[in-house]
A and B are shown apart, each in its own frame.
Chain A
Amino acid sequence: MPSNSNSNHRDVDYVFRVGGEGGEGVISTGEMLTQTLARAGYDIYTFRTYPAEIKGGHANYQVRASGKVLLSYGAAVDVLLAFNQEAYDKHIGDVRAGGVVLYDSDSFTAAARESLIYYPVPLTSLATEKIGVKLTKNIVALGVLGQLFDIPLPTFEHLLKERFGRKGETVVQKNLQALHVGAEYIAHQRKQDAILLGPGPRQTKSLILSGNESLCLGAIAVGCRVYAGYPITPASDIMEFLAKELPKLGGFVVQTEDEIAAIGAVLGASFAGAKAMTATSGPGFSLMTEMMGLGVVAEIPAVIVNVQRVGPSTGMPTKTEQGDLYLACYGGHGNCPRIVMALTSVEDCFYGIMRAFNMAEQFQLPVVVLSDASLGHRKATVPVPDLSRVPVIERRKPSLEELVNYKRYQYTPEHVSPMSVPGVSGGGYIAEGLEHDETGYPAASNHENHLRATNKRYGKFHAVEQMANELTRIYGEPHPEIGIIGWGSTEGVIREAVQLAQEKGYSVGALHPKILYPQPLAKLTEFLQGTKAVIIPEVNYSGQFATLLRKRFAYDFVQLNKCIGLPFTPKEILDKIEEVAAHVHSGRRSSAYAAKL
């Protein structure tokens, strides 16, 4: 059994997948593997699907580990750990040729495929006979992985001590034993594969965060101290995180009776002067639309996170989709300018939510922040955040002069008015949901006033659009032949596809805005010039961003839509680039060949 490290660990790039019965520790096995790989110095990128049921059903967890920065969950599986036949059957097709299958030979016998390498390991009997606890089979499996692929066993040991320390020394010892039982067993088998990791290249500390966790940390950093929400998958863990952490900082979480009350409490708390947010998913977001309109017309800072899942209606609660963009931009009645932004990566969840609060405060309106199930629940290694990157912005308060005959909705060149808070003498006003004049008094029958007030509210968009341009990222060629425009969580996978396409010699570049409404028109215009075709990949059916762009640009965009509740793989986007490039080069009209995945 060799234990020498890979000579160049920067070349390490492997996808591990664990599958088995839900509720039997598949997820925690995946998490421990992930944490160990990250602490060993690798960049990690997880992907998990889990059943909507709580116990039972199939569960799996995937982690990609690499010596380089990871942008997607990868393509084919290098190592499959299957605890039962169902897991084997479901995932065997995803394992690359030459890949490795480790499985519990007490549970089933795999009909071996020639192109793959098999390690049958009696995980259950090793656990029951050597340790006396059946569930330690997960830890036995980790020992096997560690020994076989040279993932540092001391890092596993450290983690087990941390994880089980609270349950007492006996439990810790049993788990350490289980780890070594697994390692010992496989050490006596012949190694047939060439996968070896050793310590990874990264020396500095980094955090292992899910998108939702990263978002919570960013919210705390920017000063959010009130969270109001209602439980909903896949956003509930935001509430749970903040319920644990906010009280330590003098803040708190209110669990409300529904999402309408949640956003109502956010508006009330923000009106009173506190920074507040709510997070939800599609069904809850639908309920919030009326209150969002109130936030716009009464000009109250608020942050509304929507961790999108498959809709419409209850849809597929644990699966991912980018299907709420129309609702985010246009949901609700009336002419109703709100800011819509989309988070692009686990790291961006931190800085993005900070920007969202800043924009809400600066422009005094609700900011919708779109995440999705794939981003919210995947884990990634993230550099320790640098708080100086996003300074904290507070809302404009009235000066002493402005408090004389105070006008809450005073017309100003930048369309933002001084906002008093209750408790300030002379600053009294009514936050008004009826159309109102500068003082806040209702003007429900004043026709000219309505236009002027609407102009004021839309006027804020001039400055926001500037920011949208500044926050737009371009990857690959800035003036490509084949352009790609994406939004939200597809950033990484698009970047990876662009890199792959460039390596193949294509002229490709991708534009990825962070603010979607209002749109970064200057950046988009500049990018579109000179392109021969532009692909818009979206994890939805109808191409919601493409539709919004068609309203502003007479351009024959090529849609690439994936609507099966799963995120894109780099290959799917690469294939589209190659297909479109072929059409472009043969002079055919590209979009006529657009097909749905």
Chain B
Amino acid sequence: MAQVKEYIGKVKPDWCPGCGDFAVLNALQRALADLDIAPHNVQVVSGIGCSSNLPGFINAYGFHGLHGRSLPVATGARLGNHDLTVIATGGDGDGYGIGVGHFVHTCRRNVNMTYIVMDNQVYGLTTGQASPTTEKDIVTKSTPEGTIEIALSPIALALTCGATYVARGFSGDNLHLAQMIKGAIEHKGFALVDVFSPCVTYNKHNTYPWFRERVYKLEDEKHDTADFRLAMEKAFEWGARIPLGLFYKVERPTYEDEEPALRSGTPLAKQPLQRTDLAAIMEDFI
């Protein structure tokens, strides 16, 4: 088995002390080590935001692209070379705000990859505005009178859009989080791990103690992860009790399974150029 240290990048994370994202980075490195996936076969793709800086802190191939656009790039990278373990990372603004259109369709497409969203319910890198998962009536820099919109439910959205592995972790429980990520990487299909990753600087409402008082684990309550209706019900459970763990998991053919070119084996990026068939196509145009 690989060692966690093999996945540690050359640059130290510059997140605020106490940021939930440290735990996510650590849990991801732990999961990769457990699964013994060589760093050069790991492709981490992100958007923009505090959490999207993660590829810079892990020893692997990385792609730090545009705000909200990690999933299309990750999809392309995976389809270009489906031998790679592809992991997309980002925050709630990146994934559920500006990039939500891609999220919807990537769930539907069921490309075999893992999407880890460090959900801190606030825009951190731009210093504290309301995000798509900010709860109603919360005061932020952009909502001095409190937010008007209700919060989006990432779990419910992923479920309705066809994600085949839908889980939630918490930066306050690193071992459990690593388990969720490990399960997501092992899962064949599009896996979402939404992580409560508190922003200690700009979210004074959803803090570590706030979560600790409320979270419980679905697996402790014999939750049936094959029951879609139950998963939807649990997705909306919020308030006094908030569930963590695996909400739903189903086997469905992946995009790679359904695409003949990918099913056949050799990744596109490794195929030599064949020109012999061009003549056959040209016959149609004489």
Contacts and interface: CB of A to CB of B under 8 A. Distances in A.
A422 B275 contact: no
Contact of A272 (B80, B266, B278): B80
A273 B40 contact: no
Interface in A424-462: 424-434, 440-442
6 contacts: A254-B75, A257-B105, A264-B102, A269-B269, A274-B79, A422-B84
B83 interface: yes
A22 interface: no
Interface stretch (B58-66, B170-178, B209-217): B58-66
A264 B264 contact: no
A298 B69 CA distance: 14
Contacts of A426: 40
A207 B278 CA distance: 13
B101 A228 contact: no
B258 to A, nearest CB: 10
Contacts of B104: 257
Contacts of A441: 10-11, 56
Contact of B260 (A208, A247, A387, A423): A247
B261 A247 contact: yes
Contact of B268 (A267, A269, A431, A433): A269
Contacts of A226: 76, 79-80, 268
B43 A208 contact: no
B38 interface: yes
A117 interface: no
Contact of A294 (B66, B76, B269, B274): B66
Contacts of B77: 268-269, 271-272, 422
Contacts of A369: none
A209 B128 CA distance: 56
Interface string A229-254: 00000000000000001111111101
A461 B32 CA distance: 41
A471 to B, nearest CB: 23
B73 interface: yes
A209 B261 contact: no
Interface string B66-88: 10010111111111110110000
B275 A276 contact: no
A250 B261 contact: yes
B115 to A, nearest CB: 14
A422 B43 contact: yes
Contacts of A220: 278, 281
B63 A265 contact: no
A261 B269 CA distance: 20
A225 B79 CA distance: 11
B55 A430 contact: yes
A385 B282 CA distance: 9
A564 interface: no
B233 interface: no
A392 interface: yes
A221 interface: yes
Given A250-B264, A268-B63, 6 more contacts: A254-B75, A273-B268, A294-B66, A298-B65, A425-B40, A431-B62
B39 to A, nearest CB: 6
Contacts of B69: 260-261, 264, 291
Interface in A269-322: 269-274, 276, 290-291, 294, 298
Most buried by B among A39, A207, A265, A440: A265
B221 interface: no
Interface string B241-272: 00000000000000000011110101111110
A384 interface: yes
A265 B101 contact: no
A291 B60 CA distance: 23
A433 B11 contact: no
Contact of B80 (A245, A250, A268): A268
Contacts of A205: 286
B65 to A, nearest CB: 5
A126 interface: no
Given A421-B269, A426-B40, A264 B72 contact: yes
A276 B55 CA distance: 24
A298 B39 CA distance: 21
Contact of B74 (A263, A268, A423, A433): A268
A254 B108 CA distance: 13
A247 B268 CA distance: 11
